[in-house]
């Protein structure tokens, strides 16, 4: 679980940071929330995460656009069944295209746009824990990802800590490419290289 969680968590944080760099107003809003809730005299702690709804919305929107595992792990039908008019025989191997489900234009307005605000308004009650089938980056049911709680806490704490402590931008003249390399995990096509500068007093880093 820890080995699998390391790769997928890293992938998600890379996509989140890339999306924020490409959307400076959203990045500024996220840092404004951090400054309001935490200030610049201390580090972010795990207990702060519940007071950062905009950051949580950013994480949900990242998982929607770039699920770390774009195709769910294989499942097998226990018995003959019918799903949306399709007959599925017992023993059939099933794969869910999470990438496609979570960009369905019938469910998500502007499905390819990075809009964290949707999880503060129209989709406020939509969660990633498998109860809302339009957003299932960790799967759903008894065989959903067992590391979901670890992933959510880790991504939230690391991303919040990084955005709180550093300003981040691309090197001047450089463009950020958002090309996907689809494999077992949803990797970026090229490494993410950014410039970071401290944004808090020295005592925060000690």
Distance CA 19, CA 3 (A): 25
- Which letter, b or e, does each residue of 133-145 get, where b requires 16 or more Cβ atoms within 10 Å of its Cβ? eebbbbbbeeebb
User: Nearest 5°: phi and psi at 84?
Assistant: 50, 40
Question: Annotation-wise, does 145 bind a ligand?
Answer: yes
Q: Is 94 helix (H, G, I), strand (E, B) or coil?
A: strand
Query: H or E stretch including 87?
Result: strand 86-88
Q: Which residues line the annotated binding site? A: 145
Q: Which residues line the annotated binding site for heme? A: 145
């Amino acid at each position: 679980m820890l080995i699998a969680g390391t790769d997928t968590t890293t992938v998600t944080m890379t996509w989140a940071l890339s999306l924020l760099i490409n959307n400076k107003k959203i990045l500024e809003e996220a840092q404004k929330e951090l400054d309001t809730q935490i200030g610049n005299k201390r580090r972010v702690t795990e207990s702060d995460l519940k007071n950062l709804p905009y950051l949580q919305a950013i994480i949900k929107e990242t998982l929607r656009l770039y699920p770390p595992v774009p195709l769910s792990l294989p499942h097998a039908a226990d018995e003959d069944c019918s799903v949306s008019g399709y007959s599925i025989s017992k023993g059939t191997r099933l794969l869910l295209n999470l990438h496609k489900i979570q960009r369905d234009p019938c469910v998500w307005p502007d499905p390819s746009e990075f809009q964290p605000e949707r999880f503060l308004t129209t989709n406020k009650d939509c969660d990633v824990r498998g109860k809302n089938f339009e957003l299932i980056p960790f799967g759903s049911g008894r065989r959903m990802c067992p590391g979901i709680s670890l992933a959510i806490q880790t991504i939230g704490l690391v991303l919040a800590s990084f955005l709180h402590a550093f300003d981040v931008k691309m090197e001047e003249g450089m463009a950020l490419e958002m090309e996907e390399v689809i494999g077992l995990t949803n990797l970026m096509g090229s490494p993410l290289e950014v410039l970071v500068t401290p944004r808090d007093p020295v005592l925060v880093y000690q």
